[in-house]
Structure 1
C-alpha cells in the first residue's frame, strides 16, 4: 500500500471522530496489525463490520481498506486458497470502480488475487497471475511496486520460467534503486526462491544474505520466514548443521500455514541427519497441515505436503501411512489445473511403500491387545501399533477399538471410520452394538466430516443413541437449534448425563440461559455431575437472574454466600474482566466481584465502548490464568475472567480530562473528591506522558484519563465540580468535550488544549 494511504487513514480517523463515529475511528487503525500479527478472531469480526459501516457512510476508500486487509489476513499468513478466490476476484472488481481506482492501495487487490491463486495451485494459475499483474500500472515510487514485482517473480517461477524470474527480480531491485527506494525483504526472498529453482543454491544464499537488511512489508513474519528459507537453502547445499540451526522450531512455524510447505521441504532434506528426528509426532503434524489445506482449498500445498509426508513415512517404515498419503495426494491432484509430474511422484511413493519390510510385532497376534494396553503411553509409537493391529482390526472388537481410535489420533479418522463401518454397520449389528463402539464411530465420522454416513447410521440406532449421535453432529457443525432438539430427545430417551450436557450447552448457544441452567439443575443431586457442570449452570443461571439456582450451585461447590434470597450482591474481591474493544483487541477491566459469576466494572471507559464503570457483567468462572504458586506472587495477583454478557448496565457516562499533572497533594485531594461522590476515575496516561509549558516551552509531567458519573448526575454538575476541584492548581486541567456539551467556557478549554499541546 502506498505511503499516502497512511496519511489518508489518519485523516479519516480524525474526521470519523469529529463526526461522532468514535468506535469506528478507533477500530480502523488496528486492522493492518490484526492481519499481520495473526489476531484473526478479531480481524474476521472487525474488518467486515468496518466495511459495512463504510458502505453505509458512502466511504468507498475505507470500505476497500477494510476488505483489503481482511483478505490479506486470509490469503497471507493463513494461506487460504480456493475458499478466498471469489472474495479476491470481487475485490479486484471493486478496486476498478470509478470511485475507488484512484485509491493508492488499489493495486493491492490484484496482488491479493495473485496470492490466492498461488495458494490454490501456483503452477496451474501461473498464466492468469502473470496476465493480471502485467496489466497493473505501478511505478517504483509506489510502495505497491515491490509487492507486484514479488508476485510476478513468484508466478514466473511457478510457470517454469525461472531465468526470466531471476532477471525480473534483479530489474525490479534496480528500478527501485534508481527511484531512491530499497526493495522489500519479500521481493528479495522471491529472488532467492527463483535462484533456488534454477539450481543456483549458492547464489540463492548470497542473495538471501544481501536481502537480510531489506525492510519487510510484513515485519512480524520476517524472522521465521527468513529462517525457513535459509534452512531450505542451506539444506540444499548440504550444510546440515547450519540449516538445522536456522530452521524455526515446529511450535513457531506451526502457527503460520504460509510457511508449511517450505518448512516441510527443508525437513525432508534434513530428516536423515542426527539433528532432526523423523518421528510419528512429525507425521501427525504434517497430516494436520494436509487437512488444513483441504479445508482452505490449497490444492497444490495439499499434494506437496502429502508427498513429503509420504516420503518421511517411508523413511520411518510406515507403509500403511505412506499408502494412505499417496491416496490423498492422488485425490488432491484431481483439483490441479496443471498436475505436471505429480502422477509419477505418487507412483514412486506407492512403490516405495510396497517395498517396506513390516516391522516385527512385540508379541503373538492374539496377544497384541494386551501388549497395547501395557505399552508405555509416553514412549510407545502409535504408527507402529496401527501397523501391528491392522490384521486384527475389523475382526476382533477389542483390537478394532484400539486400532481405529489410534488412526483417528494420528489424523486418519476416515480410515478408522471405514473399518468400524464395515464391522458394525455393513454387518448389520449396529442396532445391538455396544454404546461405546457407537460413540467411537460417531466421533470418527464427525472428525472425518462424513455427515451423511453418520445420519445413515443414526437411522438404525435405538432412540437414545440415535438422538445423541445426531446431537453430537449438530453440535460439531454449530447447528444449535437442531443440537438442542436432539439433546432433548436423547434425554427423554434415557441417554444419560452426556445428553443433558449437550442439550444444556446447545440451548445456551441460543441464549436461553434459564432453560440451560434448569437442565443441569435437574442433575444437581446426581453422582455423575462434575464441578464443571455446576459452574456452567451457575453462569447460565446468573445470566437469567435465577438466583435460587445460583445459590444451589454455590452450595454444591462449597462457596459460601451471605444472602439467602434475591440478587447475589456481595463484595468478593477484585477481579480482571476481559472484554472486547472496538478495535478488535481486548481490555482487562478491574472490577469488583459481586457473586459467583458477576462483577461490577470499576474503571471508566471512553465513549464508544459497549460497557463502562458501574456495569454489572456476567463472567465465565474459569480462570484465564493460573494462580501463581509463590506466595509473594499471589499478593498482587488479580484473577482474570472472560466476560460472558451484560447483566445490568450502570448507565454511567465518561468524561475526558487532560492537562499538566498537579502536585501530589492536589492530586490526592482530587481523588478524594471523586471517591466521596462515588465517581470512578482512572488515569490512562503513564509516566512518559508530558505536555508543553505555555510560556517556557519546557516539558511538564502530564495526566489524562476519564471520570465516570452515574445517570442521575448531569453534565453541568460534573463541570461545576471539576472547576471547583481544580481551580487552585498551578496549571489548569481541560475537559473540552464536557465544556462543549454544557456550553460553558468552551474557549478557555480550547485555549488550554492548544497552549499545552494536549
Structure 2
C-alpha cells in the first residue's frame, strides 16, 4: 500500500476516536514523539500497552506501529545493541505476516534490524545488513516513504563492510534517484554520505555536502542540531581546522544523555585532546568509563571498545597511567567479542605500549605522609585519578591508604579493581571477623557495585552473626529482594546492629506493603542517639500511609513541628504545594494542592479521566522538596514547592467530564463557575489563551475553552448533563460535552454536530 505513513496514522486515529477509544488514539499519535524526544519512561509504559491493546482488538498494523516505535526508542538514541536484537528480528518476522506486510510502515522493520545489528557490532553484521536491506530495497523506488531510511542504512553497512568507495558511489546514486523523482533527501541520508566521503579521505567534499544538507528535512528533528554540530566537528577535525571543530563540538552536558553519539564524540575529543584543544580532565575520564560500562550492559560490543580506546588515549595524555593500563586491558578483553577488528586491535596494541612507557606525575608527599596529604587535599580541586596512582603502592598494605584508594577507585568507575585489593587485605590476608565495621561496609559496597554477589555471600560466611546478616541484607536490598532483605535486616537488629540494619528492615517492610510495621521499626528507637531527622521523616510518611496519627504526632514533636490538633487525622491548612504524581503514560504530572499536614496534601484541581486521582483527594507526600527554594526573596514569595506524592491516602471519589467549545463572555463564565461551586463541583480549564475554535457560520476564529468538570460520587451523569444544559443554554455559542452525552444517551447527535461544526 503506497500511502504516506502519517496519513495512515491520522486515519487510524480518527477511526479510534469514532469507536470511542480516545485514549488509544492519543497514545498512537504520541509514540513517535516519545521515542524521538527521549521520553523513554513514557514510551516504555505506553508502547507495550498500545501493542497489547492493538493485539486484543485485532489491529495488527497498530500493533506493529507501537512495537516499531518502542524499538526505535531503544536502538535509536539509546543505542541498544545485542539486548535488542531478538526484538528487532521478531519485528521483522511480524512485518512479514500476511495481515501486516501491506502496512506502509512494514519495511521500516528491516531498517530497525539493521540499526540494532550495527549497534551490536557493525562490521561483524555488515554482510547480513546488506542482505536484508538489499532484499527490502529490491523493487522499491524513491516514492516509498521507507526508501531514504533503508538507503541510509545501506550506506552505513557498506562502510562497515570496508567498501567506502562503493558507499560514496551508492550515496550519490541514491541522491540522483531522489532528485529525478523530485523527492527530497533526508538529513540523515546526507550525513551517511558525509561519513562515506570522510572514509575515502575527501574531507573537503564532506564539508561541502554537510553545508548543503543543513536545509534538508531530518527524520529525527529533535536530534538534528546536536548531531549536525557533532558531525561538523568531526569533519573540521579531519581538515585540521581544530579551533572551528572545538566551537562546533556539542558540550559534554549536551551529549551525555545521547548514547548514539558517544563514540563519535569521544573520538573527536580524543583528537582534540591530543592537540591540547580541550580540557582533558579526570571528570572526562570518569564519564567515558561510565559510557563504556553502559555499552557493556546494552550489548554495544564495538562501541564499548571504541570508547575504551578513546578513553585510554586521553588518560595517557593527562598522565593517568594506571587508568590507561586498565582501559587497555578492558579494550583487549572486549576485542575477543568482535569480528573484523584488526585495525582496532592495532590501536589497542599501540596504546598498550604507550601506557607501559608512560610516567605518572610525582607524588606530592613522601610515602609515609601520603594519607595525611590525601586528607588535607582540597576536595573541590583535588584530582582523584592522581591520588589513585599515588596511593597504589600503599594500598593493600596500609589500612588507611587502602580505604581511601579503593573507595576512590570505585568512585572513578573501577569498583571491581578496588574490591579485589580490599578483598585480599581483609579476607585473604586477614580475618574479616575482626575487621572494623567500616571496612566491611566499604568492601561490601564495592563488591555490590562490581556485581560480585557471590563474594558478598562468602564474606558473610566469615563474619559474626550481626555483620553477616547486615551484609546479606545489603545484598538483597541492592537486588530488590524485599522479603530476604527484611529477614536478614531483622536478624541483624536482633544481633545488636543499630540504625543501619533498622533502616534496611523498615525500608524492606515498607516495600512489602506494611507501612504500620515499618513505622514502628523506627519508632521503637526514636530516642536513640543514632536517629537522624531523615529517619523521623521516613517514619512520619509510613505512619501517614498507615493512618497511624499518634505516631505521626510523635514524629512531628520530635522534629519540633507544632500541630493544631491533638488526636485523629491531621487535616490542617498549611500552604500551597505542587504535588508531583504519576501519569498513565509513565510521565509525571504537577497538580496544585494544599498541604494539610506533615506528609499530606489535598488536590485542588479537577483531573482528566484516566488518571488515578482527582480533586479533593488526599495524597501522601514525601516531605523532601524536589526543587531548591530560590535564594532571591521575590522569587521565593512566588515559588510553590514541589513534593512527590507517594501514595493515595483517601480518595474523594470525584468523576471528571470533558467540555469543549467557544468561550462565553466573562460574566457568563463567572456565573457558570458560581453554579458549579455552589454544588461542590470543581472545574479546571486546560486550554490556554491561544486556543480557538471555528465559527460555523462565518469561518472566523473564536476564543475557545476546554477543560474538565469534576463532580462528587453522589452526583449522577444525568444530573451533570442537566445542569450543564441549563447553565449554558443562553450562551451565544454552545458548549459540547460529547463523552457525557454518550454516557447518558441524551442529545448525542447535537454534541457530535457541535464538535464537527466548531472544529473541536
Compute the TM-score of the two structures, normalised by the length of structure 2. Answer: 0.96
Partner of 1:254: 256
Which range moved further: 731-740 or 371-380? 731-740
Partner of 2:562: 560
Q: CA deviation at 1:3?
A: 6.6
Partner of 1:215: 217
Partner of 1:130: 130
Are residues 1:549 and 2:558 paired? no
Q: CA deviation at 1:160?
A: 0.5
Distance 1:428 1:43 in 2: 50
Q: CA deviation at 1:370?
A: 1.2
Which range moved further: 467-476 or 145-154? 467-476
Distance 1:452 1:179 in 2: 62
Distance 2:492 2:163 in 1: 61
TM-aligned CA distance change 1:749 to 1:53, over 3 Å: closer
Partner of 2:41: 41
Partner of 1:690: 692
8 Å CA contact 1:32–1:69 kept in 2: the answer is: yes
Task: After TM superposition, list the pairs within 5 Å mapping 1:138-157 onto structure 2.
Answer: 138-157=140-159
Displaced runs of 4+ in structure 1, greater than 6 A?
Answer: none
Post-superposition Cα deviations, 1:185-214, rounded to whole Å, max 9, x if no partner, equal 111111111111112212211111111111
Distance 1:465 1:502 in 2: 13
Aligned residues: 758
Partner of 1:449: 451
Distance 2:269 2:496 in 1: 51
TM-aligned CA distance change 1:514 to 1:633, over 3 Å: same
Partner of 1:330: 332
Q: CA deviation at 1:555?
A: 2.0
TM-aligned CA distance change 1:324 to 1:755, over 3 Å: closer
TM-aligned CA distance change 1:53 to 1:670, over 3 Å: same
Post-superposition Cα deviations, 1:226-268, rounded to whole Å, max 9, x if no partner, equal 1111111111111111000000111111111111110111111
Distance 2:465 2:262 in 1: 45
Partner of 2:426: 424
Distance 1:147 1:741 in 2: 45
Post-superposition Cα deviations, 1:167-200, rounded to whole Å, max 9, x if no partner, equal 1111111212222211111111111111111122
Which range moved further: 40-49 or 119-128? 40-49
Post-superposition Cα deviations, 1:104-124, rounded to whole Å, max 9, x if no partner, equal 111111111111111111111
Partner of 2:436: 434
Q: CA deviation at 1:218?
A: 0.8
Post-superposition Cα deviations, 1:531-588, rounded to whole Å, max 9, x if no partner, equal 2222222222222222222222222223322222222222223222222333333322
Partner of 1:319: 321
Partner of 1:344: 346
8 Å CA contact 1:484–1:506 kept in 2: the answer is: yes
Tell me the secondary structure at the aligned position of residue 568 of structure 1: coil
**Which residue of 591, 594, 602 maps to 1:592?**
594
Are residues 1:72 and 2:103 paired? no
Task: After TM superposition, list the pairs within 5 Å mapping 1:604-753 onto structure 2.
Answer: 604-753=606-755
Post-superposition Cα deviations, 1:36-60, rounded to whole Å, max 9, x if no partner, equal 1111122122212222222222221
Distance 1:354 1:751 in 2: 80
Partner of 1:105: 105
Partner of 2:205: 203
Tell me the secondary structure at the aligned position of residue 702 of structure 1: strand
Distance 2:608 2:3 in 1: 30
Distance 1:747 1:278 in 2: 69
Q: CA deviation at 1:472?
A: 1.6
Distance 2:408 2:742 in 1: 68
Gaps of 5+ in 2: none
Distance 2:743 2:355 in 1: 77
Distance 2:743 2:304 in 1: 60
8 Å CA contact 2:474–2:485 kept in 1: the answer is: yes
8 Å CA contact 1:691–1:756 kept in 2: the answer is: yes
Gaps of 5+ in 1: none
8 Å CA contact 1:27–1:582 kept in 2: the answer is: no
Are residues 1:7 and 2:14 paired? no
Distance 1:457 1:202 in 2: 60
Distance 2:748 2:221 in 1: 44
TM-aligned CA distance change 1:8 to 1:86, over 3 Å: same
Tell me the secondary structure at the aligned position of residue 134 of structure 1: helix
8 Å CA contact 1:23–1:609 kept in 2: the answer is: no
Which range moved further: 550-559 or 105-114? 550-559
Distance 1:316 1:741 in 2: 70
8 Å CA contact 2:684–2:708 kept in 1: the answer is: yes
Distance 2:481 2:3 in 1: 45
Q: CA deviation at 1:648?
A: 2.4
Q: CA deviation at 1:716?
A: 2.4
TM-aligned CA distance change 1:271 to 1:57, over 3 Å: same
Compute the TM-score of the two structures, normalised by the length of structure 1. Answer: 0.96
Q: Which gives a bigger RCO, structure 1 or 2 (Cα 8 Å, sep 6+)?
A: 1
Which range moved further: 703-712 or 135-144? 135-144
Which range moved further: 586-595 or 452-461? 586-595
Partner of 2:416: 414
8 Å CA contact 1:28–1:583 kept in 2: the answer is: no
8 Å CA contact 1:30–1:583 kept in 2: the answer is: no
Which range moved further: 172-181 or 435-444? 172-181
Task: After TM superposition, list the pairs within 5 Å mapping 1:562-577 onto structure 2.
Answer: 562-577=564-579
Partner of 1:235: 237
Partner of 1:57: 57
